[in-house]
Structure 1
Amino acid sequence: MRAALRWAHSDLRTHRGEALFLVLATAGVVASLLLATALFGYATNPWQRTFAEARGAHVWLHTTPSADARSLARLDGVTSVAGPYRTESATLAARGTRASVELRGTTRLPSVGRPLLTAGRWLDPAVPDGVVLEGSLARALLAEPGDTLTLPGTARTLTVEGIADNAEPPYRPGEQPGLVWALPSAVRAPGGQVIGLRLGDPADTDYAVQRAVTVLGAGAVGEVSTWQQARAEAQGDNRLLGQVLGLFGLGSLIAAGFAVHGAIATRIRGHLRDLSVLKAIGFTPGQVVRIFLLQHLAYALLGAVAAASLTEALGSRVPGRLGDAVGVWQGLPGHTLAVAAVPAGAVLLIGLTTGLAAWRAGRVPPVPVPRPAASAGGRLTGPARRALGLRLPAALVLGCHKAFTGRGRSLATVARLTLPLLLIVVALSAWTTIDRFHSSPERVGLPTALTVRSDGALDASAVQALLTRDSRVSAAYPGVEVAALVPGQTGTIALRGIGTRAEPYPCALAEGRAARGPDEAVAGQGLLDLLHARVGDWVRMTVGDRPQILHIVGRSIEPRNAGRVVTTTLDTLRENDPGVSPAFHELRLRPGADPHRVSAALTAAGRGHLDVHPVTNPADGLSPLRGVVAGLIAVLALIGLVELLTAIGGSVREGERDVLALRAIGMSPRQITAITVTATSCTALVAAVAATALGLPLGRRLIDAQGSTSGIGSGIAQSPSAWLLLLLGAGAVLGAAALAALPAARAAHRRLADTLSAVA
């Protein structure tokens, strides 16, 4: 055992750089996997916990005031109901911020869909104008218990009594109104009612919705939302961040395993004589295998323990969403198991990949087999001889020849180096796609910057004139959005009529063409998936008691409402219902215009009658992904560095015999050094080219697949720019050359006696 430890210690001193990079790479891989686990837990568990504590309803239906919503309690599968509650649509303002809300009248704390108070108290009959705000709405209004809210255009005020969390979809400006619980006396102009259904089996949600719509009648149902939609919105971008971290973490783990396997295999080839001596003095094959295996498992274990310790100690202090995710995850059940299982799994996988190479070390015979004088693959090829005849530098020709002589070994080295570079190309594709949402939002379904809503004091023509009067506004598109029941009556989608045939709304099309004629529309990927439809199909939906039949002529990139949006012109909706009038205006600004300044100017010009807010960009929630991608690139670069060091060490050791021949023909140490540097650079160049050729289509496919599953649709992927790819390739080649220069120079300047001893 002492001899084994002494040999392992000597090997560690010889390869300290490789050992350090292996530890750092393992630590980075394990840290990314732990952060991915934290983000998954952060995305899913808080909503599930809220839903369970609140006894959340699986289905919420908004109906007309006259609908017999109480009859839904008798449906099969419905165990309990919330409401029905009278509702009123309103606008609240606080500290200069406005928000569209739904006032929901209730006399007591509900037993189903119960609000979970986080601040303040519940409604008190002694305070008739008191309200309780849903948490996301309170954060948007910067409201706290005791604050006074105003209703623009009226003399009414409301007092915030409390703030509560619930399991319904959160407030989203311009898309989802905020939820406000109030006493029935505060709901003065009810426009409908809402009822929640809690089911015995959540899997029966679609069937329950279908039965409820059948009982009430399609004309009585205005909007349907389900627990799946609420869960998806609560998870938001955190689940995507977790998927990105998990995907790249697993890819990095595989790359690290291959790098360790290559390092051991190369080291075995360079230490055949040492291994034979170990066998000759009594080491068994099992002992030799254990030396290599335990040595590299120790590196992996050190990196994994360091990553787990740092994540536990400092993870919650990371600013932004990652820190919040780790903090919440540390308080969730199963956290301790994950902290132990993830590093253990990573160490086990690295151990499995190193096992085969260590087993080969155990098979080395006790008597060293003399190396052949020259291998067939080492002879100069025809192109190499012709290149020398053209008087190209001998170091360049021999270096390129050396890089590609042992085909099997060279291909394995190129493949191991290609994997981390390929993952870096995919990571850069994710980075540039996020940048595309900010730099070119009109190409990803966000052609407008501001949404304007009027309180009704100004008619549509007056609002249009006021908006277009500002020279910074390029176009103002009037629009209306209504909830429509889909065929089968299992849910509602968003039907938007925006723009006119004379001035159409500029949808970002990924397939088909724009809607120009009567009854033509474009749809998001989420809607097409929901209806199992394709571009060219006719679809039927119900708006209130009116059927609407539309011809889908194109697929748009639709970041709103999970892509469950069908967009047509306002003229088309008016042909079916002449009473349709614009409910909002979407503003496209001129290049260089500041949306915040334009918003402030329009709000002032509207004299309190306009609610102006910026269009939500889904990439805003993905800003932490840039830091994640940067960290992953650093981890992958470490893995690539380990592979380069392995390839350089193997190339130098296998070229020791060639040094004698090269000196014999009169080559200087500088030329001999250039041969090894050129060979390593050629290997890195081929790996970079292969990684680019494979990584670009893979990145586009993965990003478009994520876009399709999220409902946005494919066509959002953006490949890295050519200069960025050139920078990556140049960095790989120059880095390989710089790393190879010192060991190659040492080998070229070795004394003749040392060289003869090494190749003996």
Structure 2
Amino acid sequence: MRATLRWAHADLRAHRGEALFIVLATAGITASLLLAAALFSYAADPWQRVFTQSEGAHVWIHTRADAQPEDLADLEGVTDVAGPFATARATVETGGARAAVELRATGPEPPRVGRPLVGAGRWLRPGADDEIVLDSSLARALWAETGDTLTVRGERGTERRLRVVGVADTAEPRYVPGERPGVGWLLPEGLRLASPAPERAGWTVGLRLDDPDDTDFAVQRAVTALGADRVTEVTRWQQARTEAEGEGRLLGLLLGLFGLGALLAAALAVAGAIGTRIHGHLRDISVLKAIGFTPAQVVRVFLVQHLAFALLGVACGAAVTELLGARIPGRIGEAVDLWRRLPGHAWTVPATAVGAVLFIALATSLAAWRAGRVPPVPVARTAAPRGMGPLTSVERRMLGAGLPPALVLGRRGAFTGRARSLAAVGRLAVPLMMITVALGAWATLDRFQSHPEEVGLPAALTVRDGSSAGEDADGRAETERLSAAHPDVTAVHPGVEVAALVPGQTGTITLRGLGTDERPYPFALAEGRLPAGPDEAVAGQGLLDLLDVRVGDWVRMTVQGRPQILHIVGRGIEPEDGGRTISTSLDNLDLGERGPVRPDFHHLVLRDGADADRVAADLVASSDGRLEVRRIANPADGLSAIRGVVVGLITVLALIGLTELSTTVGARARDRGRDLLALKAIGLTPRQIAGVIVVSTGLTALAAALLGTALGVLAGDWLIDVLGRAGGIGAGIAQSPSPGTLLLVCAVALAVAVAASIVPAARTARRRIADTLGETL
């Protein structure tokens, strides 16, 4: 052991640069993995993010007006309290839409615990008793946006108009029509002026607990303290999280796959760096064997050395991420700051560190085992790299044609046919492949936003007539006339949407009638054809999976007690209702009505480049406010956060790729350094020798970029289609990155490789002949 430690110390002094690189590479990869974990936690669980950022309450208790909820702050296990807030249940209306709301009185500053996170607009201003901030789920139900006006109905039929100034996210249970009211925040004076009925007034208080799993006992103590007859409703954080889990499932799966890809790329980079370093010490290993070291001792030397490097590198990477990660500008810093407050952070950092050390130990053990098999007689290094062989006829003609020797010899150095060269290309291709997959996810989001008609959203606006005139034929005709008269509207399609029971009546699906036989609806198809005859329909992937049917089958369902049989002739891309939707012409529906089915709404298709918000405002104005016009929700609007996450993942993968590129540059410089004597003997200048190293590294990076982008396009399309099918939308939504983007990835990889190799190449070319001679003997 003493001889082992002495040799390890001597080797460290002789190769400080290599040791420093191993430590820095390990630190960089550890930091990259921790950043990837932070990004995953940030985007994959939106509810947890909102709960953490808002200092959410674990329990919300709603009481009658005669309760004293302020006493709950003294209960054992309660660390903080949100409120209590004076509340009143009421009904709000806007544009014909109506919803139940809990009006909650608060101050001009958001509460510290259970703080609503304003995503659009602003918070309440002092003295503005006619302003209200809506919970985002309630705002979606009302189709309300900042600037809209709500009508609140109070006691004895009184009405008060409130202006929406903000839309906020909370970690409370969301609005459910007919079951749970939404939340609206306003000033205490605004609540008083709304004149709520006394029997609907009360208090709401949120409790933050020191043990989140102790909610049942905390609720029992709170109900006992207040009196069971004074408590009207209790909600727990587990209930809110369960309701929100489905929204981030696909996003979490996508980011989880990105995380696995980053882990694979990091593992290959570490293994490559260790293997390259041990390969560069073959001469030293032979010397150790010659002076009496056994194979087991050689293995132990490298294992102890690299485990020490791993521990130091992992500690440095974790420390830098913890101390400086939150200061990184943009989404990455925000994700790290939030991640440090999440429950899983306490075990993620040590688990990542232990996993990295164990993997490095495994990679080192394999490489060290190969080192233990090196023969004890040093193998003389030849002037030409092993395996290159003599110049081929093509290469001789290339040199005879006047091509630069650096280009010819650099190509030979990059593609010698050896396993190490192919492994270097493969390791560098993995992060480039994952970057291409991430760019494919970005391009797919752009497709949803720029070409929604290709992903099942041909219409941009929905028009409803909430007045009594909209219930007769003349009113519907007037709605169609007003809509079609706008110059930016290219088509108006009547529609109706009802719930239908599947065969066996074990579940419900959505049956839609859109368009007519005379003016068919422009469905976006991924398979089959458009419905053109009686009883023909298109279905979403979610419905096909639910009923275990395929295109060409007939399905029977029950609609309002009446059977409806439809022939599925196509599979449409359905981003709504998890794809459990079947759509047909309005003329094919049988809802028990005499005559044609009455449409409930109209979908408007706009010309390319039209401003949907301006068209909606024009239609409302032309109808004197009778029409309710809203934008059709685009799934990409709820995934805006993924763009910042994709940028962060690309940055992490780029760091891993840079680590692998540094290993490749070091290996190329060392190999050419051993050939320095031969290269100078055939007349190459130092600049040409440096060019050989630069060209060799650049061609390796270019080959890896071409391979990585090609595999990334294939893998990205397959992955996104698989996720689309799992989510019910169906395959056919994937969009590959543009050729220009792929060329840019290849160009950046080549440029970075060339830039990273210039300094090592120049340093190698300036080495003395005596040093090179010592290495080749």
**What is the TM-score with the length of structure 2 in the denominator?**
0.74
Matches within 5 A, 1:43-54: 43=47
Q: Is the 8 A contact 1:43 1:236 kept in 2?
A: no
Instruction: Tell me the SS of whatever aligns to 2:694.
Output: helix
Q: How big is each residue's C-alpha offset from its partner over 1:14-58, in whole Å with a ceiling of 9 and x where there is no partner?
A: 5645643542232122221244245555558999xx999799xxx
Aligned equivalent of 2:309, options 295, 300, 305 = 295
Q: Is the 8 A contact 2:47 2:241 kept in 1?
A: no
Aligned equivalent of 2:15, options 3, 11, 14 = 11
1:72 aligned partner: none
In the alignment, structure 2 segments of 5+ residues that lack a partner are 62-89, 103-113, 117-133, 163-167, 184-195, 198-237, 470-474
Deviation at 1:507, TM superposition (A): 1.0
Aligned equivalent of 2:431, options 417, 420, 423 = 420
Q: How big is each residue's C-alpha offset from its partner over 1:442-480, in whole Å with a ceiling of 9 and x where there is no partner?
A: 111111111111113332111111112221222221111
User: Is the alpha carbon distance of 1:331 and 1:265 closer, same or farther for their aligned partners in structure 2, counting shifts above 3 Å?
Assistant: closer
Q: Is the 8 A contact 2:307 2:357 kept in 1?
A: no
Deviation at 1:305, TM superposition (A): 4.2
Deviation at 1:709, TM superposition (A): 0.4
Matches within 5 A, 1:80-95: 92-93=92-93
Q: How big is each residue's C-alpha offset from its partner over 1:567-609, in whole Å with a ceiling of 9 and x where there is no partner?
A: 1111111586436211111111222221112222222223232
Distance (whole Å) between structure 2 residues aligned to residue 263 and residue 540 of structure 1:
62
Deviation at 1:694, TM superposition (A): 1.4
Q: Is the 8 A contact 1:259 1:639 kept in 2?
A: yes
Aligned equivalent of 1:683, options 675, 678, 700 = 700
User: Is the alpha carbon distance of 1:25 and 1:237 closer, same or farther for their aligned partners in structure 2, counting shifts above 3 Å?
Assistant: farther
1:403 aligned partner: 414
1:33 aligned partner: 37
Distance (whole Å) between structure 2 residues aligned to residue 745 and residue 326 of structure 1:
42
- Matched to 2:411, the amino acid is C
Deviation at 1:528, TM superposition (A): 0.8
Distance (whole Å) between structure 2 residues aligned to residue 503 and residue 718 of structure 1:
30
Distance (whole Å) between structure 2 residues aligned to residue 232 and residue 549 of structure 1:
35
Matches within 5 A, 1:314-333: 327=338, 330=341, 332=343
Deviation at 1:155, TM superposition (A): 6.8
User: Is the alpha carbon distance of 1:606 and 1:42 closer, same or farther for their aligned partners in structure 2, counting shifts above 3 Å?
Assistant: same
Instruction: Tell me the SS of whatever aligns to 1:598.
Output: helix
Q: Is the 8 A contact 1:100 1:177 kept in 2?
A: no
Distance (whole Å) between structure 2 residues aligned to residue 429 and residue 271 of structure 1:
41
Distance (whole Å) between structure 1 residues aligned to residue 339 and residue 684 of structure 2:
65
Instruction: Tell me the SS of whatever aligns to 2:351.
Output: helix
Distance (whole Å) between structure 1 residues aligned to residue 45 and residue 732 of structure 2:
30
- Matched to 2:644, the amino acid is G
- Matched to 1:235, the amino acid is E
Distance (whole Å) between structure 1 residues aligned to residue 398 and residue 699 of structure 2:
16
2:550 aligned partner: 534
Q: How big is each residue's C-alpha offset from its partner over 1:132-165, in whole Å with a ceiling of 9 and x where there is no partner?
A: x987216876899xx973479x9774899xx999
Distance (whole Å) between structure 2 residues aligned to residue 149 and residue 6 of structure 1:
82
Aligned equivalent of 1:307, options 318, 321, 325 = 321
Distance (whole Å) between structure 1 residues aligned to residue 345 and residue 18 of structure 2:
39
Aligned equivalent of 1:249, options 235, 243, 259 = 259
Matched, 1:553 2:569: yes
Aligned equivalent of 1:638, options 655, 662, 672 = 655
Matched, 1:664 2:681: yes
Q: Is the 8 A contact 1:32 1:245 kept in 2?
A: no
Instruction: Tell me the SS of whatever aligns to 2:12.
Output: helix
- Matched to 1:149, the amino acid is T
User: Is the alpha carbon distance of 1:264 and 1:164 closer, same or farther for their aligned partners in structure 2, counting shifts above 3 Å?
Assistant: closer
Q: How many residues align?
A: 645
Distance (whole Å) between structure 2 residues aligned to residue 329 and residue 533 of structure 1:
47
1:474 aligned partner: 490
Distance (whole Å) between structure 2 residues aligned to residue 420 and residue 739 of structure 1:
17
- Matched to 1:581, the amino acid is R
- Matched to 2:27, the amino acid is V
User: Is the alpha carbon distance of 1:680 and 1:329 closer, same or farther for their aligned partners in structure 2, counting shifts above 3 Å?
Assistant: closer
User: Is the alpha carbon distance of 1:439 and 1:233 closer, same or farther for their aligned partners in structure 2, counting shifts above 3 Å?
Assistant: farther
1:126 aligned partner: none
In the alignment, structure 1 segments of 5+ residues that lack a partner are 56-89, 106-116, 120-132, 187-227
Instruction: Tell me the SS of whatever aligns to 1:555.
Output: strand
Distance (whole Å) between structure 2 residues aligned to residue 254 and residue 166 of structure 1:
35
Aligned equivalent of 1:570, options 568, 581, 586 = 586
- Matched to 1:434, the amino acid is L
Matched, 1:595 2:612: yes
Matched, 1:509 2:525: yes
Distance (whole Å) between structure 2 residues aligned to residue 721 and residue 384 of structure 1:
35
Q: How big is each residue's C-alpha offset from its partner over 1:363-391, in whole Å with a ceiling of 9 and x where there is no partner?
A: 55665333356534332234323433444
User: Is the alpha carbon distance of 1:251 and 1:22 closer, same or farther for their aligned partners in structure 2, counting shifts above 3 Å?
Assistant: same
Aligned equivalent of 2:730, options 696, 713, 718 = 713
User: Is the alpha carbon distance of 1:232 and 1:565 closer, same or farther for their aligned partners in structure 2, counting shifts above 3 Å?
Assistant: farther
Instruction: Tell me the SS of whatever aligns to 2:468.
Output: coil
Q: Which moved more, 1:376-385 or 1:488-497?
A: 376-385
Instruction: Tell me the SS of whatever aligns to 2:388.
Output: helix
- Matched to 2:365, the amino acid is G
Instruction: Tell me the SS of whatever aligns to 2:15.
Output: helix
User: Is the alpha carbon distance of 1:625 and 1:680 closer, same or farther for their aligned partners in structure 2, counting shifts above 3 Å?
Assistant: same
Instruction: Tell me the SS of whatever aligns to 2:652.
Output: helix
Instruction: Tell me the SS of whatever aligns to 2:320.
Output: helix
Distance (whole Å) between structure 2 residues aligned to residue 634 and residue 478 of structure 1:
47
User: Is the alpha carbon distance of 1:99 and 1:738 closer, same or farther for their aligned partners in structure 2, counting shifts above 3 Å?
Assistant: farther
Q: Is the 8 A contact 1:525 1:563 kept in 2?
A: yes
1:648 aligned partner: 665
1:70 aligned partner: none
2:628 aligned partner: 611
Matched, 1:741 2:758: yes
2:273 aligned partner: 263
Deviation at 1:361, TM superposition (A): 4.1
Deviation at 1:230, TM superposition (A): 9.9
Percent of residue pairs bearing the same amino acid type: 50
- Matched to 2:394, the amino acid is P
- Matched to 1:652, the amino acid is A
2:213 aligned partner: none
Matches within 5 A, 1:222-233: none
Q: How big is each residue's C-alpha offset from its partner over 1:645-671, in whole Å with a ceiling of 9 and x where there is no partner?
A: 212221221223432222222222222
Distance (whole Å) between structure 2 residues aligned to residue 269 and residue 150 of structure 1:
77
- Matched to 1:454, the amino acid is D
2:151 aligned partner: 149
Distance (whole Å) between structure 2 residues aligned to residue 693 and residue 229 of structure 1:
45
- Matched to 1:549, the amino acid is I
Distance (whole Å) between structure 2 residues aligned to residue 150 and residue 244 of structure 1:
42
Distance (whole Å) between structure 1 residues aligned to residue 467 and residue 763 of structure 2:
83
- Matched to 2:309, the amino acid is Q
Distance (whole Å) between structure 2 residues aligned to residue 499 and residue 653 of structure 1:
70
Distance (whole Å) between structure 2 residues aligned to residue 427 and residue 417 of structure 1:
16
1:190 aligned partner: none
Q: Is the 8 A contact 1:684 1:733 kept in 2?
A: yes
Q: Is the 8 A contact 1:30 1:304 kept in 2?
A: yes
**What is the TM-score with the length of structure 1 in the denominator?**
0.75
User: Is the alpha carbon distance of 1:330 and 1:318 closer, same or farther for their aligned partners in structure 2, counting shifts above 3 Å?
Assistant: farther
CA RMSD of aligned residues (A): 4.1
Distance (whole Å) between structure 2 residues aligned to residue 665 and residue 302 of structure 1:
46
Aligned equivalent of 1:732, options 734, 745, 749 = 749
Instruction: Tell me the SS of whatever aligns to 2:675.
Output: helix
Q: Is the 8 A contact 1:260 1:354 kept in 2?
A: no
Q: How big is each residue's C-alpha offset from its partner over 1:223-265, in whole Å with a ceiling of 9 and x where there is no partner?
A: xxxxx99988723553333333322222112211111211122
Matched, 1:437 2:442: no
Matched, 1:449 2:480: no
Instruction: Tell me the SS of whatever aligns to 1:409.
Output: helix
Distance (whole Å) between structure 2 residues aligned to residue 641 and residue 104 of structure 1:
54
User: Is the alpha carbon distance of 1:346 and 1:475 closer, same or farther for their aligned partners in structure 2, counting shifts above 3 Å?
Assistant: farther
Q: Is the 8 A contact 1:395 1:678 kept in 2?
A: yes
Distance (whole Å) between structure 1 residues aligned to residue 727 and residue 57 of structure 2:
22
Q: Is the 8 A contact 2:456 2:572 kept in 1?
A: yes
Matched, 1:388 2:410: no
